[in-house]
Amino acid sequence: MKTIKGPAIFLAQFAGDDPPFNTLDDIAKWAANLGFKGVQIPSWDSRLFDLEKAANSQLYCTEICETLDNHGLVITELSTHTQGQLVAVHPAYDALFDSFAVPEVRGNPESRQQWAVSQMLLAAKASENLGLTEHATFSGALAWPYFYPWPQRPAGLIETAFDELAKRWLPILNAFDDAGINLCYEIHPGEDLHDGVTFEMFLERVHNHNRCHMLYDPSHYVLQALDYLQHIDIYHERIKMFHVKDAEFNPTGRQGVYGGYQSWLDRAGRFRSVGDGQIDFNSIFSKFAQYDFQGWAVLEWECCLKHPEDGAKEGAAFIHDQIIRVTDKAFDDFAGSDSDKKSNKSLLGLP
């Protein structure tokens, strides 16, 4: 067994235009001072990272690693959540997702998708140049507007959507395979891959691709009333990344899973800063130790109440205290005794 690595922090929710959040060097120093050991970098945020340069310049990647190493940090993974989202967008969401793309391709869904695919290919190469083994992304969605079967869905609609989703992603998965990188889809509402069943539907269509894996974030399961512990039991062989994010679900006589179109503050299900929600992280970390999870415990802060800097400070300590240093011996070794095949047979009454 191996001890899970951490604590690490996903920088996406903290990057900004003001110091210390506007350069990689400054935000790395801030994170290190809080006790983090690794950072997950949003590849789309030019204030922190240049994806195209990382894909084409080993020197630039070396400089990035040295910048982090100066603060005692490493890169855990790169993220292409926003670009991955644009690999598959239903027309109903065109206007809302346009801002995820560069200005040159906005208003042109075909060009936007081509740009997103090119970004994913750059991410595979950049991850390879940085010496990484995993990558985080979203699957995008073609079927999401039809997630509730009313009006009744015509036969074959969902199958057609997943066939197309797999067709778009298979060349990208192959590129990540060539780079030696596991592509980890965050299982997330709003994506076609939003629970175990939909992941299985996709996995089958990409022929059980050896680079198709999961980013496990239990907060998205709490809000779906999904058993997030059993999920690890079922899919642990495909879980290669872990976001440590908390949530709570408090249904009432007035609203439940769908939230009544309310803001995050007023929803029955809402994200909370780590330790302030309902998630049993002790059991999660125990299961990851049991199944020999070899990745990082990465804090993702999203909370409708607490200040992000407080959430980061508390999150570093929280993850540190949750990490189980796995044992290299059995607790009852003291009572053991030497044995051989002959004595074992004797104990069983066998000739």
Question: What are the φ/ψ torsions at residue 174 (nearest 5 degrees)?
Answer: -65, -40
Instruction: Give the pLDDT score at 150.
Output: 96
Query: pTM score, two decimals?
Result: 0.95
Instruction: Give the pLDDT score at 296.
Output: 98
| DSSP-derived pairing of the beta strands 246-249 and 269-272 | antiparallel
Question: What are the φ/ψ torsions at residue 136 (nearest 5 degrees)?
Answer: -105, 140
Looking at the DSSP bridge assignments, the partners of residue 10 are 40
Dist CA 191 CA 195 (whole Å): 9
CB 172 within 8 A of CB 183: yes
Candidates 263, 230, 312, 267; CA nearest to 36 is: 312
Total domain count, the chain: 1
| Residuewise pLDDT in 10s, the chain (351 residues) | 789 999 999 999 999 999 999 999 999 999 999 999 999 999 999 999 999 999 999 999 999 999 999 999 999 999 999 999 999 999 999 999 999 999 999 999 999 999 999 999 999 999 999 999 999 999 999 999 999 999 999 999 999 999 999 999 999 999 999 999 999 999 999 999 999 999 999 999 999 999 999 999 999 999 999 999 999 999 999 999 999 999 999 999 999 999 999 999 999 999 999 999 999 999 999 999 999 999 999 999 999 999 999 999 999 999 999 999 988 777 666 667 677 888 898 889 998
CB 235 within 8 A of CB 209: no
Burial of 175 (0-12, 13-18, 19+ CB in 10 A): buried
Instruction: Give the pLDDT score at 335.
Output: 61
Dist CA 314 CA 308 (whole Å): 10
Which structural domain range is residue 177 located in? 5-347
- The 3-state DSSP class for residue 72 equals coil
One-letter amino acid of 168: R
Q: What is the DSSP string of 121-180?
A: HHHHHHHHHTT-SEEEE---BSSGGGSS--SPPPTTHHHHHHHHHHHHHHHHHHHHHHHT
CATH number for the domain that contains residue 135: 3.20.20.150
